[in-house]
Structure 1
Amino acid sequence: MRSRWLRVNGYQLHWIEAGRGPVVLLHGFAGSCADWEPTVLWLAEQGYRALAVDALGFGHSEKPVHAPYGLALQSDLYAAWLAALGIERAAFVAHSMGGKYALATVIRHPARVARLVLVATDGFVNPSPLTIIGGWPVLGETILWLSAHPAVVRAFLAAAFHNPESYVTTELIERGRAAISGVANRRALTALSRRYTATDLGLTGLRARLHEIRVPTLLIWGAHDRIFSLQYATTAHRELPCSQLVVIPHCGHFPHIEAVRPFRGVLSGFLASL
């Protein structure tokens, strides 16, 4: 597995990759490409070129404070990144927040996406008051600072997993805490929150264009997801015309971590016809 960097549209992007394929993996909020490391290695073993990329403002990618964060910027970056790598089309596998970015990419750059896998995807939930307040100067950074406390991170992860006793480890808590700690991370996340209208499918008008998506789409959801409940899964399934929905039992918001075997089984079957 290789760690790589490339300047795209003026911004430095970081990703990890292995094998041949290609399959692009997008992480969720406060996540990074590290969330996908086991899946990247497994996909490479299956013969795919798997590339898990850090979104702008996350992981080891650049964290510009004054960037016009939003679905347009992120999707344009992914399209330009693929072009720079000489990849004409790729399957996109996206978790949570990454799902919005994948949907924006397939709408704005349909020729770049061969098929779509959305795992407990964001995009079908209205912005919460906390999201809006998180973009306020001083207050937003204060909220992020408080959110980085290990007890707060542990509480979120406990809600995100159906069986937290088995998956909420000290390592996972530290990774989540590190993602929202430090001046650069907090400033980038505050800047992202400040532009919440540009990161919302509905407010950007992209949700009204979901009917344009004609690539095969797989929705994977945990039956016990307490972050984005099953009602959002059924909404996404209804609004995405070429979608199929698979619900994994005894699983929360992270099927690729909590239900590895069923998740990989479903993903493998879907990608086989790539």
Structure 2
Amino acid sequence: MSPLIADDLSIDETMLTVDGLRLRVLMAGEGPPVLLLHGFAVNADDWRPTIARLVKAGYQAIAPDLLGFGRSDKPGGDAYSLHHYADLHAGLLDALGLDQVALVGHSMGGKLALATTILHPTRITRVLIADSEGFMQIPLFMRKGGTLPWLGEAILSLTSRPGLIRMQLNAAFANPQQYVTPELIERGRQTLSDPGVRQTMLALSRSYASTDLKASGLWPRLAAIKQPILIIWGAEDRMFPVKYAQLAHQALPGAQLVVIPNCGHFPMIEADAAFHGMLLGFLAGAER
């Protein structure tokens, strides 16, 4: 276990084996535990500012690299189903000796947070999802691309091109001129050039039926979630437009929805104060 320093905060980085698979996990703080699930094609480091906020407020923050991303194992095949991810997250809690956690998920991590809550409801106390995947119909070329070898490989060959990365990042932020830097583009290029990550992307495309809330059969169970749920969405998210926040709210009738103005797909970055204020307020509700 090696400590990584973010500002004046010491974050422990460790590799844990869960169900025979190694997961890189960032951990810091003491107090009620909060599990943070990142989005597609990034890693747990995206949560470092959130980890700092949680630790300062008296929580234990736990942020794994999702299976298939970052420095976690990338087994390929059918390992990326919603059911398997949910079981891995429950197994991670077992490995850490935790009975229950509050769960926070962004983008793809939001979909996984909901699946984990549905399939392991006794382990989750409350759920926050931000600009969540799972409510927008995935384009046909993405759903079918992985099943056609030539198309899947062709799509992958384009993903690491700096011009395409810049275009995607510009769509992710309401104010791209402030956030889309050469350093961020290079970080994206390095991630999307990783052969393991590229194979994860292809495997996810080939496993659409098991990675989609509707196709997997989990969609009807969303309405039965009993835990408190907060949905946060950037009003200017051009990746998952805000109309899908309304669809999420309809599918989760007991949830609270907050739309942040002048904010894109990454509210924890672009609306730092607002997002973390709402997160901490939501978590504090568990203690009253």
TM normalised by structure 1 equals 0.97
> 2:243 corresponds to which residue?
231
Distance 1:198 1:127 in 2: 13
Q: Does 1:272 align with 2:269?
A: no
Pick from 3, 12, 19: which aligns with 1:2?
12
Q: Does 1:163 align with 2:175?
A: yes
Distance 2:256 2:224 in 1: 16
Distance 2:110 2:151 in 1: 27
Matched residue count: 274
SS of 1:180 mapped into structure 2: helix
Please tell me whether the aligned partners of residues 33 and 61 of structure 2 are also in contact (alpha carbons under 8 angstroms): yes
Pick from 11, 27, 30: which aligns with 1:17?
27
Alignment of 1:114-125 (within 5 A): 114-125=125-136
Pick from 122, 129, 133: which aligns with 2:140?
129
Distance 2:145 2:98 in 1: 36
| Aligned alpha-carbon RMSD (Å) | 1.2
Distance 1:113 1:176 in 2: 32
> 1:59 corresponds to which residue?
70
Q: Does 1:198 align with 2:204?
A: no
SS of 1:63 mapped into structure 2: coil
Alignment of 1:142-221 (within 5 A): 142-221=154-233
Amino acid at match of 1:180: L
Runs of 4+ in 1 over 2 A off after TM superposition: 65-68, 136-139
Pick from 102, 105, 119: which aligns with 2:116?
105
Which string of whole-angstrom CA distances, capped at 9 and with x for unpartnered residues, describes residues 61-110 of structure 1? Answer: 00112343210110000011101111111111100111111111000000
Q: Does 1:37 align with 2:48?
A: yes
Pick from 137, 148, 151: which aligns with 1:139?
151
Structure 2 unmatched ranges of 5 or more:
1-10
Distance 2:152 2:144 in 1: 6
Q: Measure how far apart 1:189 and its partner are.
A: 1.7
TM normalised by structure 2 equals 0.92
Please tell me whether the aligned partners of residues 213 and 241 of structure 1 are also in contact (alpha carbons under 8 angstroms): no
Distance 2:222 2:78 in 1: 26
SS of 1:13 mapped into structure 2: strand
**Does 258-267 or 61-70 show the bigger shift?**
61-70
Distance 1:175 1:51 in 2: 23
Sequence identity percentage = 50
Q: Does 1:69 align with 2:80?
A: yes
Q: Measure how far apart 1:138 and its partner are.
A: 4.1
